[in-house]
Amino acid sequence: MHGKMCAGREQFGDFMRFFHISDLHIGKQLYYYSLRDSQQAILHEIIDKVREYRPDAVLVAGDIYDKAAPSGEAYELFDAFLNQFADIVPAVPLLIIAGNHDNALRLKYASAFLERHQIYISVLPPVEEEEYLKKVTLRDKYGEVNFYLLPYMRPGYVRHLFAEGAVRDENSAVAAVLAREAIDTSKRNVLLSHQFYVAGGRRPETCDSEITAILAGGIGGVDVSCLKPFDYAALGHIHGAQSVGEPHIRYSGTPLKYSVSEERHQKAITLVTMEEKGAPVRWEPIPLKPLYDVYSIQGTLRDVIDRAGKGVCDDFVSITLTDEESLYRPKDQLSEHYAHILEVKVDNRRSREQLAQDSCETESLEPMAAFRDFYQQMNGEPLSEEQENVMRRVIADVASGEV
């Protein structure tokens, strides 16, 4: 049974301050480049920020790993992070939930031992009648702050707990699980959650790296109206930092850029400050500096080479060449100046004419085939059976006028 757990400092602070981060995606690759060094560096930087700011807690809102079966290298990175975190004195509670990329059983391993070091992990929603969300209670001079840990869930995880027909989709599943908690709204409450949240049909801003995440998290999304009992919602799943509907319902975004479409994101830790019940919750970004940046460059071959400056640029770059004349092995020339070239594209008169021709051919494809081709091009792998089934339902709903 998930129960209430208490943690905190020997002396209460004047008010509650905590870090909100999410979507570490440890083990992720970027265009087949390993991000091990970048992820190791950013995890070290997060530890350094904890030591510098001394928050009352650190919240990690899901997607610890990038794959359900992480590599040994990914395990080592996260293990090193936990060990460094556990060495911080006095201890800072670390609250972690599973995301849709995580394997619940793997992430749960040694969780009982970790709780001795105030590291709390929740990997599944309640699945038995007597179970409830894991709750961790911290205190400041204003009293208790209750942190509810809601890991990523599909409707099928919890449907059996409710009357037939009560849980139909992600929205009704999350609403039903939260209503079941009988949350005391006279106290300050914080939710950790990893779902795709919307506000009255308004969807958060997304980027290319989230196509599969959105498919896995439910097309319709979970409406933020079910989050009314919470003074702050620490969300994970979306890679760009942003609020949804209300300022206190917030995605922290990823600590690193995981696609070129994120090049303008300002990656940061979200520092949240809570005072007495009813006072506005404040948050501010603590910028993170990556080992290597991710961005795009456009220009002629000569211009792009000149922009590299002296030596070799180590950042991850997507390059678009605008030369009208044919170039001899441009990527080989660029590789002498850029260590991590993600892609080399050409944008000139001939390429635009070819693109227009390809678009005409694509228009003749039926919707599912067109999306299948698009997904393959964007991700370098085919749709899974589950994702294809989701898209078929969406296309059918659009065709019937239901969405």
The pLDDT assigned to 10 comes to 44
pLDDT digits (tens, 9 = 90+) for 328-371: 899 999 999 999 999 999 888 876 776 666 565 555 567 888 78
Mean of pLDDT over the chain = 89
Fold of 4-287: Purple Acid Phosphatase; chain A, domain 2 (3.60.21)
The pLDDT assigned to 11 comes to 47
pLDDT at 119 over 80: yes
From 94-103, 109-118, 134-143, the region with the lowest mean pLDDT: 109-118
Q: Tell how strand 242-244 and strand 246-251 pair up.
A: antiparallel
Ranges of beta strands (E only) in 288-347 are 294-299, 313-321, 338-346
Decide if 297 contacts 341 (C-beta within 8 A): no
Decide if 162 contacts 181 (C-beta within 8 A): no
Q: Tokens standing for 170?
A: 């992600």
> Which amino acid is located at 233 in the chain?
A
Mean pLDDT confidence for 96-120? 91
The pLDDT assigned to 2 comes to 55
Percent of the chain with pLDDT over 90: 71
Tokens 């979970």 belong to which residue? 222
Select from 292, 297, 237, 287 the least CA-distant residue to 265.
287
Mean pLDDT confidence for 73-78? 96
pLDDT at 213 over 80: no
The pLDDT assigned to 392 comes to 83
pTM for this prediction: 0.84
Percent of the chain with pLDDT over 70: 87
Q: Tell how strand 33-34 and strand 29-30 pair up.
A: antiparallel
Please provide the size of the chain in residues.
Answer: 403
Comparing 204 with 64, the larger pLDDT belongs to 64
The pLDDT assigned to 366 comes to 76
Which element (helix H / strand E) includes 390?
helix 385-400
Q: Tokens standing for 293?
A: 């940046």
Select from 248, 123, 263, 140 the least CA-distant residue to 191.
248
pLDDT digits (tens, 9 = 90+) for 158-175: 999 999 999 999 999 999
**Which 3 state secondary structure label does DSSP give 315?**
strand
Q: Tokens standing for 284?
A: 């501010």
The string of DSSP codes covering 151-168 is ----HHHHGGGS-TTS--
Cis peptide before 247 (omega within 30 of 0): no
Burial of 325 (0-12, 13-18, 19+ CB in 10 A): exposed
The pLDDT assigned to 389 comes to 80
| Domain residue ranges of the chain, discontinuous segments joined by + | 4-287, 294-400
Mean pLDDT confidence for 278-304? 96
> What is the C-alpha separation between 117 and 253, in angstroms, rounded?
26
pLDDT digits (tens, 9 = 90+) for 171-201: 999 999 999 999 999 999 999 999 999 998 7
Query: In the 3-class helix/strand/coil scheme, how is 171-215 assigned residue by residue?
Result: HHHHHHHHHCCCCCCCCEEEEEEECCEEECCECCCCCHHHHHHHH
Decide if 249 contacts 242 (C-beta within 8 A): no
Decide if 19 contacts 92 (C-beta within 8 A): no
Q: How sure is the predictor about 8, in pLDDT bands with cuts at 50, 70 and 90?
A: very low
